[in-house]
Structure 1
Amino acid sequence: IAEEVTLLGADTKAHGKRPDLVLYVNGIALGVLELKRSTVSVAEGIRQNLDSQKKVFIQHFFSTMQWVMAGNDTEGLRYGTIGTPEKYYLKWKEESTVENPLDRALIQLCDKARFLELIHDFIVFDAGIKKLCRHHQYFAVRAAQERVKRREGGIIWHAQGSGKSLVMVWLTKWIRENTKNARVLIITDRTELDEQIEKVFNGVNEKIYRMKSGADLIATLNDTKPWLVCSLIHKFGGKEEGEEVGDIPGYIDELKRALPPGFSPKGNLFVFVDECHRTQSGELHKAMKAILPGAMFIGFTGTPLLRADKQRSIEVFGGYIHTYKFDEAVKDGVVVDLRYEARDIDQRITSQAKIDQWFEAKTKGLTDLAKAQLKQRWGTMQKVLSSRKRLEQIVADIMMDMETRDRLKSGRGNAMLVSGSIYEACKFYEMFNTTDLKGKCAIVTSYRPSTADLKGEDAGEGDTETLHKYEIYQQMLADWFNESPEKAVNRIEDFEKQAKK
């Protein structure tokens, strides 16, 4: 450790600097620390570090730098790496009897063994951006390492948005480096998750092979490479919470049919199951255990588990390896809090007689029994809730927020409106398109417009709900891609990817 290291600029045009503390390992500068008085904000130390990394100062000095830190006795320590913007500097959290927050963090992070471990095992270049781990990611991987040594599975439950994918990356890299003949299989049941995992691993320069089918998975496991693979449950056979999810029984059948005589998976297998709380994960786990009897299973979830899900997930995968819950993530500033505010929109039926008259006209020709069954299933509230007057009130209420709420009126905020049905979402979209939000709205649902939707819908009496829905989607896609409606209607997946950015 060297104090106040005087450094000259790289050339005559650059200015020299004097960092407060530099941490050298075998003569190589790996850490730098700017210290401030307790009355001066840590932010000033962070900005000094950012200035030092500029070409006009001592940019060359940071070529070997891994940990860039700033701190004082009141706020404690903040850390980042080269190029980390001020708002992304992190705070370490770990139990300790040391009261001074700066001393506590330095003792925990700069212990020789810990410091080298953090550099060796917990730094990645994610799509070209250098990233360090947060405290919960570090302790999750460490806890999982102990389970791996004992060949004991379990669940890592980290709040959504807290960096679960990077936990997978760091754990996978450690397994690869420390376990003989290691192979890692990651299973998901959402196309988006599958693509996200591939993107994350490719971003950290780890080539991952995406399976094309259950048969492809069996054939790959029967070979000795590749060592890192992910498998999507390709067959979609049902819906969960309104979203298409994998047909797990169909996927299991496909795997069993593809098994060759004397099948024996090669390598020391570790199976990561993403979103392991899903309804049928127990059946999948049972089938995979039968096919891969020697594999170790780790479940990942970011969703708060309901009692039944929690019991089933623990029975399937084992106890919790590590948890980082939503309230902790909010407190640490990792995710934004959810706040609820009740809004009262008038939903009263103004004319029951008119609704009954409309229902009779629409069900002409049906028997009394059929009418009664339809009325019971459909109810009057569906149309009332989707009535134009009510939707207009909701749109007006949201537009008021857009003009009066600081974050929204500044143009930097986004809003998400959850509707009661896909058709209702389309009607909302139409209404917002008559306001200042035209061109700034998108519908994201499980609906995929298809010409099959048009068959038998046109009776010459105006648009049905299905036709109207199709036309709104077609026009939305045409406006977005600036193409003809007939051509744009087939680009729904491209549209959703862009709209979600």
Structure 2
Amino acid sequence: MSTQSELALENKVMDQLERVGYERAAIHNNESLEENFRRILNDRHADKLNGQLLTDSEFKRLMIQINNKSVFDSARILRDKFVLKRDDETELYLEFFDSKNWCRNTFQVTNQISVEDKYKGRYDVTVLINGLPVVQIELKRRGVAINEAFNQVERYRRHNFTGLFRYTQLFVLSNYNDTRYYANNDKEIYKSHMFYWTDEENNRLTNVHELIDSFMLPHHLAKMIGRYMVVNETDKNLIVLRPYQMYATEALIKRALETNNNGYVWHTTGSGKTLTSFKASQLLAQEKEIKKVIFLVDRKDLDTQTQKEFDKFEPGSVDYTDNTKHLLEQLEDKSNPMIITTIQKMANAVKSNAPVMHQYKEDKVIFVIDECHRSQFGDMHRMIRRHFQNSQYFGFTGTPRFDDNKSQDGRSTADIFDKCLHHYLIKDAIRDGNVLGFSIEYINTFKDKATSSGEEYVKAIDTNEIWMADDRIDMVARHIYSIHDNKTKDRQYSSIFATQSIDTAMKYYDKFKEINHEEGSKPLNIATIFSYQANEDLREGDVKEHAKDRLARVIDDYNENYNTNFSLETYDQYFDDISKRMKKGIPGQKIDLLIVVNMFLTGFDSKVLNTLYVDKYLKHHDLIQAYSRTNRVEKQTKPYGNIVSYRDLKKETDEAIQLFSDTEDTDVVLSKSFEEYLEDFQAGMNELHTVVSTPQDAYHLEDEEEIKAFIVSYRQTARALLKLKTFEDFDFTKTLLGVSEQGYEDYRSAYLDYYDKYIRQKDSEKVSVINDIDFEIEVIRNDKVNVSYILNLIGNIDLENKKKQTEERKQIKLMLERADDENLRLKADLIQEFLDEVLPKLDRNANIEKVYLDFEEDKKLQEFKDFAETEQYPVEQLQSLYTEYDYSGLLYRKDIEKGVTGGLLKKRKKVNKVYQFVKDVSRKFGLVE
């Protein structure tokens, strides 16, 4: 079977690049590369040179100053103005790349440049802008894994790519059907840094010709280098935006410059929203008509991580201080067009009525809001919007609010920020390898004998008595101990335990301490953190210990364990120290298990966190946010985020994943106008007045139907009022609303009295069913069990302990029976045969993974032989077809026909059989992603 050679592919790529606008250049060595660079430099600066071309000494001096620098320094030189002192001592300002006017750059392409650096090298295709080799394209023939191209580039980076090749900004790799790009760097580059290019709807463009027609178009490539790469000053490296980040930034800038409307970007948690929002903010700040770009976060979100991320990109942009004075100074400083601060401090700046704030009543200001699903700002938001009268608001969120999960005041994200400008969903990010998927286990910890008594009976149960029962707490804690090492790869990774309340968190904390001190235990490094009120009241029935006192006790334990010296007075430093340890996988210093209530379940990123234990009710955005703490990409030992839920959140999980993986509602705007909400409120008040004329009458209602009518009508007004308060036009006056604020508060008091009465009545009817419950651990089901997950479990089977091995094999077989993954079902029989026939006979020092792969290879070859014999088809041809299809995904019937004899009908049937066989075998034995 003939295949396209690398040379043929290279020639086609060269021809296509020429067609889309590149000039083909005959450059085949370093000398001609420098001559070409010098010629273009002279041509581009002809107006400044006044006929005096660069002399040999001037060009030599220039090359000494710009040639063979580090990749990072070369990237800075490429983007800056360069001052060259000429032979006559005059200064000449040179520009190597025009980032604003793409058409003023010179675009060329050449191939087969030969170099002799440490070793000889010959580069496939080189794209030059203004004579500098900014993009290297490495090609492999079809069927060759893309990793081979990557490895070759890595060799070139280590031993070649000197001189002007240090200006290489991007690499493009392709084996025709698999095409990716990534940024150059001085440091090690991982394969996970290779990205696919996509269209605006996140559809991959994997074919090299599709990529050239989109990504490699001269104006687009210049835009990628000039606008959508970040020169990271802190880490001294280059970052290139992924396609969804670029599309979102483009859409946001277009909306800001062409309209006065707001918008939001829906990019799933963990996909790099900070970088996207920074780049959008940076580019907007360069527009003359925009006087300031202000990146707003809630106070609790302006943590060390956020500060460091922004300082990497724009040193000095973060408002670190606690006082408003520094923010006012930043607002006055016209040389600093971008600020990151908190909404609380910005509200204080508005209230200060400082002279600098007056200009911003009319100046165009862009507000970029982080985590905008939580940005229901109320009074502060309204105050800021009233002051900045010529402002626009752009939000970023991984979990928007929709009708299903609207905020407490009844609004969706679209109500506040209007249109969704771009979406990149969790299913897209998992597909692209930008975040990991989840392995979810739902654990039942009791059998409820009461459920057969009816739903109303179950609702009356005091569930706290169940969830916090001593036996259950003990069993869950011990279960976590039993699975923790396996979940965290022998504690290579950290975990978080999300609990329902401070009481629950402390009960678990004390139980883990107890287990840690038991003989034969392998102690876990545990810690906990939660917020507390300075003057907390203890409610009847509570544990007689203030949250403040509990936290002080926990901090003392922490100090002893980690040799630190924190206290309640240094709570923020305690928080930061926990954050650092949760991000560093240093043995002996990291935290194995962090017990939390709400903290660290949103906005916290750690690559070495891979497991979340859950013993609290979660749904919608809260669930996805919490789960997403575990799915940051790290290395191959972290194939997904582990979720172990000790409550049956299967329904909630499915609903949340469906909600945040669906694009149908992204552009739906649920909000009404101020006038419409005002009509709703007034209608509610009219209905309320038909039930009771005055607030006092509400206290004298006796008929339950009348009481119900009062509660329903009041609730209607309350919902409308919550929405009304979000508008700048809102003022609580009788003229506007038809009721004074005090009059409305009187109605509210009557409503609360009825609420308290009926809630207490329900509470008194609660019954204890603690004796009706048998506590036990039972895995209900395991979702997202795929081939990688099962093979990972097989690889960790204990070959020394036969009893444990038997139990582990049994559990894996059970998972195979319950698994929904289609690819896993294809391998199920194969895996079961391995577990039954091969694994029990292995030596204790055997490499299970290698043995399984050899076993699978033998089985694959046997299937080839059996099929070839039965269908009388050449086995070598069959293997060749399989190899081509497995790598490229392409299978041509004309290739299959080469091994088929007989009449037309017979040929057609056999071709169809071979075609289906190759596809089935590829799915069964193909590489596991």
- TM-score, normalised to structure 2, is 0.44
Alpha-carbon distance in 2 for matches of 1:423, 1:4: 69
Alpha-carbon distance in 1 for matches of 2:206, 2:331: 52
Equivalent residue in structure 2 for 1:6, among 111, 114, 118: 114
Q: Partner of 2:373: helix, strand, or coil?
A: coil
Q: 1:467 Cα deviation (Å)? A: 8.1
Partner of 1:334: 434
Alpha-carbon distance in 2 for matches of 1:191, 1:465: 23
Alpha-carbon distance in 2 for matches of 1:500, 1:98: 35
Q: 1:204 Cα deviation (Å)? A: 1.6
Partner of 2:386: 290
Alpha-carbon distance in 2 for matches of 1:99, 1:137: 16
Equivalent residue in structure 1 for 2:193, among 81, 85, 88: 88
Q: 1:498 Cα deviation (Å)? A: 1.8
For 1:275, the aligned partner's letter is E
Partner of 1:232: 342
1:280-330 Cα offsets, whole Å, 9 max, x none, are 336544322210001122122222423134954323222111111222222
RMSD value, Cα: 3.5
Partner of 1:124: 230
Going from structure 1 to structure 2, the CA distance change for 1:481 and 1:413 (only over 3 Å counts) comes to: closer
1:147-190 Cα offsets, whole Å, 9 max, x none, are 12213321112111111111122112211223345311111113
Partner of 1:370: none
Count the aligned residue pairs.
444
Going from structure 1 to structure 2, the CA distance change for 1:478 and 1:4 (only over 3 Å counts) comes to: same
Q: Is the 8 A contact 1:23 1:30 kept in 2?
A: yes
1:374-416 Cα offsets, whole Å, 9 max, x none, are xxxx9854344223321221122222323445xx234433332
Q: Partner of 2:496: helix, strand, or coil?
A: coil
Equivalent residue in structure 2 for 1:146, among 244, 254, 261: 254
Note if 1:263 corresponds to 2:340: no
Equivalent residue in structure 1 for 2:279, among 170, 173, 176: 170
1:239-288 Cα offsets, whole Å, 9 max, x none, are xxxxxxxxxxxx85x45531258923175311112222326336544322
Partner of 1:300: 396
Partner of 1:475: 556
For 1:441, the aligned partner's letter is I
Note if 1:71 corresponds to 2:71: no
Going from structure 1 to structure 2, the CA distance change for 1:498 and 1:349 (only over 3 Å counts) comes to: farther
Q: Is the 8 A contact 2:178 2:206 kept in 1?
A: no
Q: 1:445 Cα deviation (Å)? A: 2.7
Q: Is the 8 A contact 1:53 1:62 kept in 2?
A: no
Alpha-carbon distance in 2 for matches of 1:289, 1:41: 54
Q: Is the 8 A contact 1:222 1:264 kept in 2?
A: no
Q: 1:207 Cα deviation (Å)? A: 2.4
Q: Partner of 1:21: helix, strand, or coil?
A: strand
Alignment map for 1:173-192 (pairs within 5 Å): 173-180=282-289, 182-192=291-301
Going from structure 1 to structure 2, the CA distance change for 1:485 and 1:272 (only over 3 Å counts) comes to: closer
Q: Is the 8 A contact 2:532 2:547 kept in 1?
A: no
Q: Is the 8 A contact 1:80 1:90 kept in 2?
A: no
More helix by share: 2
Q: Is the 8 A contact 1:189 1:233 kept in 2?
A: yes
Q: Is the 8 A contact 1:20 1:33 kept in 2?
A: yes
Equivalent residue in structure 1 for 2:496, among 403, 409, 416: 416
Q: 1:227 Cα deviation (Å)? A: 2.2
Equivalent residue in structure 1 for 2:142, among 20, 38, 41: 38
Alpha-carbon distance in 2 for matches of 1:389, 1:171: 53
Partner of 1:272: 368
Note if 1:104 corresponds to 2:210: yes
Alpha-carbon distance in 1 for matches of 2:274, 2:351: 32
1:200-256 Cα offsets, whole Å, 9 max, x none, are 221024421416455765675466454222221448xxxxxxxxxxxxxxx85x455
Alpha-carbon distance in 1 for matches of 2:297, 2:442: 36
Note if 1:161 corresponds to 2:270: yes
Going from structure 1 to structure 2, the CA distance change for 1:425 and 1:172 (only over 3 Å counts) comes to: same
Q: Partner of 1:108: helix, strand, or coil?
A: coil
Partner of 1:390: 472
Alpha-carbon distance in 1 for matches of 2:301, 2:548: 28
For 1:193, the aligned partner's letter is L
Q: Partner of 2:437: helix, strand, or coil?
A: coil
Alpha-carbon distance in 1 for matches of 2:255, 2:548: 55
Seq. identity, %: 19
> Which shifted more, 103-112 or 476-485?
476-485
Alpha-carbon distance in 2 for matches of 1:339, 1:331: 15
Partner of 2:129: 25
Going from structure 1 to structure 2, the CA distance change for 1:173 and 1:219 (only over 3 Å counts) comes to: closer
Alpha-carbon distance in 2 for matches of 1:24, 1:328: 33
For 1:112, the aligned partner's letter is P
Partner of 1:204: 313
> Which shifted more, 33-42 or 177-186?
177-186
Alpha-carbon distance in 1 for matches of 2:205, 2:324: 55
Going from structure 1 to structure 2, the CA distance change for 1:16 and 1:268 (only over 3 Å counts) comes to: farther
Partner of 2:151: 47
For 2:248, the aligned partner's letter is A
Alpha-carbon distance in 1 for matches of 2:332, 2:495: 48
Q: Is the 8 A contact 1:478 1:488 kept in 2?
A: no
For 1:42, the aligned partner's letter is I
Going from structure 1 to structure 2, the CA distance change for 1:471 and 1:99 (only over 3 Å counts) comes to: closer
Going from structure 1 to structure 2, the CA distance change for 1:387 and 1:437 (only over 3 Å counts) comes to: farther
Q: Is the 8 A contact 1:349 1:384 kept in 2?
A: no
Q: Is the 8 A contact 2:296 2:369 kept in 1?
A: yes
For 2:467, the aligned partner's letter is L
Alignment map for 1:339-378 (pairs within 5 Å): 339-346=439-446
Q: Is the 8 A contact 1:282 1:313 kept in 2?
A: no
Alpha-carbon distance in 1 for matches of 2:205, 2:265: 30
Alpha-carbon distance in 2 for matches of 1:195, 1:100: 38
For 2:497, the aligned partner's letter is L
Equivalent residue in structure 1 for 2:423, among 298, 314, 323: 323
Equivalent residue in structure 2 for 1:281, among 354, 370, 377: 377
Larger of the two Rg values belongs to structure: 2
For 1:259, the aligned partner's letter is N
Q: Is the 8 A contact 2:113 2:122 kept in 1?
A: yes
Q: Which runs of 5+ in 2 are unaligned?
A: 1-108, 451-459, 584-929
Partner of 1:314: 414
Alpha-carbon distance in 2 for matches of 1:432, 1:60: 59
Alpha-carbon distance in 2 for matches of 1:104, 1:301: 31
Q: 1:59 Cα deviation (Å)? A: 4.4
Equivalent residue in structure 2 for 1:135, among 211, 232, 243: 243
Going from structure 1 to structure 2, the CA distance change for 1:304 and 1:201 (only over 3 Å counts) comes to: same
Q: 1:195 Cα deviation (Å)? A: 4.3
Q: 1:486 Cα deviation (Å)? A: 6.4
Q: Partner of 1:334: helix, strand, or coil?
A: coil
Equivalent residue in structure 1 for 2:528, among 406, 428, 443: 443
Q: Partner of 1:144: helix, strand, or coil?
A: helix
Alpha-carbon distance in 2 for matches of 1:487, 1:280: 30
For 1:477, the aligned partner's letter is Y
- TM-score, normalised to structure 1, is 0.78
Partner of 1:368: none
Q: Is the 8 A contact 1:271 1:297 kept in 2?
A: yes
Alpha-carbon distance in 2 for matches of 1:423, 1:155: 38
Alpha-carbon distance in 2 for matches of 1:3, 1:112: 17
For 1:163, the aligned partner's letter is G
Q: 1:499 Cα deviation (Å)? A: 3.3
Note if 1:400 corresponds to 2:482: yes
Going from structure 1 to structure 2, the CA distance change for 1:320 and 1:485 (only over 3 Å counts) comes to: closer
Alpha-carbon distance in 1 for matches of 2:335, 2:180: 44
